[in-house]
Amino acid sequence: MARRTMSLLPHWSSRIFSVELDGASHYFAIQEKHRGEEVPRVFRKLPDHDRCYSLLVCSGDRIRGAKVYGELKDKLLRLLSPECDLSPMSSFLPNVKDSLVKGYFFKGSSGSCSPTERLLRDFAQRDPVLVCSYLRGEDGQLWTQHLWPHAESQLMDVSKEYYVVPSEAPDHHPSTLNLVNSDVFYSFEEAYEVLKKCGDIIPEAKSVLELLPSRVEARSKPASPVIVIEGLDATGKTTLTQSLRDALRAVLLQSPPQCMSPWRARFDREPPLIRRAFYALGNYFTAETIAQQSMETPVIIDRFWHSTAAYAIATAVSGPLCNLPDEGSEVYRWPSDLLQPSLVVLLTLHPEERKKRLRNRGQGKTEEEQELDHNRLFRLRVEEVYRRISGPACITVDASPSADQVLQQVLLLIRGKCHL
């Protein structure tokens, strides 16, 4: 932890802190002198408490940091009292890429000998976690932040106290600072390296890597047309892809490929960095098969990189659509070493009609599908990211008509764009 913690400290007073509370992001900053600023909103919501805490995961090893962050929530929920009200938290330098560190914020009981503080002292000694306490002043208004010492960071100046003051919200959600090659991967090497480093702690990672080459060459355009069908569940992707396969005498593929299915449930339990690397490599494995199959016949793909990126970005960036990176941002660009399809069709459907189809299917839902159903903003973010991805961009097709009408519309697109 020491290296990452020490890199934070010279810029500590310049960092912004964000707490996710009641479905909204609350931002605050710190400074050495108080100039009459009001109390930040997140602290105004704590009238019955005079002490709060934050834990930020600051490992120099991002694999270990991702694992610790993923396990930290379970530990805290198990060990803290329910009254603590655990909330996601982050700290970042405005507009500085890769400056985001994530953690948790919660209310605590008074007294340095409380069970909470004994627990946190244990975290500070063993884990790559930077602990801060927040104390309400005697006047009942001002709040101060106090850094805790860590066993591996004896040079930290923990004698300082910082006043907590309001901060303006950044232009975009702070998670956008760390999206590239963390939530979304833009090269085979970046994703491969993550799973390679996981080999000692996740045995299944070695099995996945045995399926893949150690590197891939940048792919030129496929020999025959390659058509990707994207869309949320129950928009008719399976029916359409099978109909296109028959109509065009094409090969039908999916991403991740069937050979990686035995490990999907295992990697779905991992933190985003590791989970997203697994799915990114699934796209590259599919691309190898596409390159081979397209030498002889057209290829239809049930979801590809668009889905991987859309769900990852929409999960990492919470809140309204304005929190997403601007259109044209690098996060929407197609990976330069991943084979580009000839055409990408995005099936869309009115939310109520999609829910009706899901109920009629009666199948179990993935965690992300459950999120789509109860979180309207998440669904809107997924759909918007689909629309913003470029190189190639999606062509939207209304999936509400009959399956045959949708098929005929897509065949017209294919004949116009791919000359089939």
Could you tell me the CATH number of the domain that includes residue 247? 3.40.50.300
The predicted structure's pLDDT at residue 373: 56
Mean pLDDT of the chain, nearest integer? 88
128 or 381, which is more confident:
381
The mean pLDDT of 332-346, rounded to a whole number, is 95
Same domain, residue pair 61 and 116: yes
Note the pLDDT tens digit of each residue in 392-410: 999 999 999 999 999 999 9
The domain containing residue 113 runs over which residues? 2-177
363 or 388, which is more confident:
388
Last residue of a domain, one of 107, 142, 177: 177
Same domain, residue pair 287 and 147: no
Same domain, residue pair 134 and 242: no
Last residue of a domain, one of 111, 145, 177: 177
Is 269 part of a structural domain of the chain?
A: no
Q: Is 275 left (phi over 0), alpha (psi -120 to 50) or beta?
A: alpha
Provide the strand spans (E) within 80-231. 87-92, 101-107, 129-136, 143-147, 161-166, 226-231
- C-alpha 103/C-alpha 28 separation (Å) is 15
The predicted structure's pLDDT at residue 212: 86
- C-alpha 132/C-alpha 152 separation (Å) is 16
Same domain, residue pair 228 and 173: no
pLDDT of 19 over the 80 cut: yes
288, containing H or E segment: helix 272-293
Note the pLDDT tens digit of each residue in 220-258: 678 899 999 999 888 899 999 999 999 999 999 999 999
Note the pLDDT tens digit of each residue in 68-88: 998 999 999 998 888 888 999
The amino acid occupying position 157 is D
Residues 6+ apart with CB under 8 A from 3: 60
* Count of Cβ atoms closer than 10 Å to residue 197 Cβ: 17
Same domain, residue pair 248 and 120: no
pTM comes to 0.88
Number of domains in the chain: 2
User: Rounded to a whole number, what is the distance in angstroms from the first to the last CA of the chain?
Assistant: 57
Q: Which of 148-152, 164-168, 315-319 comes out lowest in average pLDDT?
A: 148-152
Q: Is 257 left (phi over 0), alpha (psi -120 to 50) or beta?
A: beta
Note the pLDDT tens digit of each residue in 280-304: 999 999 999 999 999 999 999 999 9
Is 50 part of a structural domain of the chain?
A: yes
Q: Which of 17-31, 310-324, 333-347, 350-364 comes out lowest in average pLDDT?
A: 350-364
Same domain, residue pair 173 and 247: no
